[in-house]
Amino acid sequence: MSDYDILFNKAKKFHGHICPGIVLGTRLTIAGLRELGMNPNEPTHNLIVYMEIDRCGTDAVQAITGCSLGHRSLKHKDFGKFAATFVDTTTGKAVRVSILERNRAEHDKLNPKEVIKVLSEVPEDEILKIEHVRITIPKEDLPGFPVGKATCSNCGEQISDNRQIVVNGEVLCRNCAGESYYTVTGRT
């Protein structure tokens, strides 16, 4: 069994089924790790990955690298692009790998099994764009214990990693400062 097959099966098991996103996420991860000189079959404790989409391929990246939100080694930047930036925190070296959509119209004509086969076999340079990039990771975003803690003067909830906002001298969480993604409809 090839390295690709082993890693693809790991991603498939984590995700729960086979789909084009798992194929592309596997290929994207293999390329990103290779460019950083990392072995995808070994734990990567000095890796942070920024995902630009929250779809199937993200599960492949998480399954293969072991990076996760809980470990603060997987970051989500909601740009809506099937792309990931892999950062070696030891060397500072970073590479962004994105999916090229050149043949998307042709792939859309195929049935799902055919698409998966084509995407797994097509030459890498036909589906991936690899760019060496520079990225500065704020200390608040690094794995480890929280950097700075505050308490929101409005709701009383704790805010970690300097995510508070000061408005007219008051420390507020982003929700109370008007950046909330939810509306409270009741309390129990």
The tens digit of pLDDT for each residue in 72-84 reads 999 999 999 999 9
pLDDT at 106: 74
Residue 44 confidence (pLDDT): 85
pLDDT digits (tens, 9 = 90+) for 129-156: 999 999 999 999 999 898 889 999 999 9
pLDDT of residue 187: 87
Residues 156 and 127 in one domain: no
CA distance 160 to 150: 7
| pTM listed for this prediction | 0.89
85 and 152 fall within a common domain: no
Same domain, 132 and 149: no
- Rounded Cα gap, residues 31 and 36, in angstroms: 9
Residue 102 in this model has a pLDDT that exceeds 80: no
For residue range 13-42, what is the model confidence (pLDDT) as tens digits?
999 999 999 999 999 999 999 999 999 999
CA-nearest of 41, 37, 135 to 83 is: 135
> Do 83 and 169 lie in a common domain?
no
* Judgement on whether residues 89 and 65 belong to the same structural domain of the protein: yes
65 assigned to some structural domain: yes
Q: Do both 80 and 157 map to the same domain? A: no
171 and 98 in a common domain: no
Identify whether the C-beta of residue 57 lies closer than 8 Å to the C-beta of residue 127.
no
The sign of the CA dihedral 89, 27, 64, 76 is: positive
- For residues 161 and 72, membership in a common domain is answered with no
pLDDT bracket for residue 59 (50, 70, 90) = very high
Q: Cβ atoms within 10 A of the Cβ of 81, count?
A: 13
> Looking at the structure, do residues 78 and 106 belong to the same domain, yes or no?
yes
Whether 50 maps to a domain, the answer reads: yes
* 151 shares a domain with 135: no
Q: Which domain holds residue 164?
A: 145-179
Q: Do 53 and 36 share a domain, yes or no?
A: yes
- 88 versus 118: which is more confidently predicted? 88
For residues 135 and 152, membership in a common domain is answered with no
pLDDT of residue 64: 97
Query: Total structural domains in the chain?
Result: 2
Mean pLDDT for the chain? 93
CB under 8 Å, gap of 24 or more: what pairs does 34-40 form? 35/86, 35/95, 35/97, 35/130, 35/132, 36/86, 36/88, 36/91, 36/93, 36/95, 37/88, 38/88, 40/3, 40/7, 40/64, 40/65
